[in-house]
Each structure stands twice: as structure tokens, then as C-alpha cells.
Amino acid sequence: MGLIALIISCIANLCSCYAVYTNFKNIKMLRQAINERDEIIKEQEKLIQKLSFPNVSYCVNCSKIVCREVV
């Protein structure tokens, strides 16, 4: 009877360890996705900052940022 309880306990511990491992793996993936999203946001903020200068504009035809001469 004690042996059966020990086996069941070991199986429960293995299941618990696997659940913890899976959660840590998911957390790692979520953190990576958040970091990638933060990088994209930073790049967009830099682009917005560039476009806010009076002599810089975005050319729709060629999809490039262009500088205009300040006269």
C-alpha cells in the first residue's frame, strides 16, 4: 500500500514539475514578445521624432523620408 502511495506521489511530483517548466517556458516566450514589441515601439517613436522636424517629410510616392531645404 505504501509503495502505491509513493508511486502516485512521484507521478504527481513529475506532473507538477512539468507544469512549472511549461509555465516558465511560456513566460520566457511572452517576455521575448514584449521585448520585440517594445523595440518596434521605440523605432516608431524615433520615426515620429524624425518626421516632427520642420525640414523632414515622408514621400508617399517613394516611401522614403526626405529632407527639404530650409530657405
How do the domains of the chain map onto residue ranges?
20-71
- pLDDT of the residue at 1: 84
High-pLDDT (> 70) share of the chain, %: 90
- pLDDT of the residue at 69: 66
Query: Who contacts 57 (Cβ-Cβ below 8 Å, separation ≥6)?
Result: 51, 65, 66, 68
1-53 pLDDT per residue, tens: 889 999 999 999 999 999 999 999 999 999 999 999 999 999 999 888 877 77
49-70 pLDDT per residue, tens: 877 777 777 777 777 777 766 5
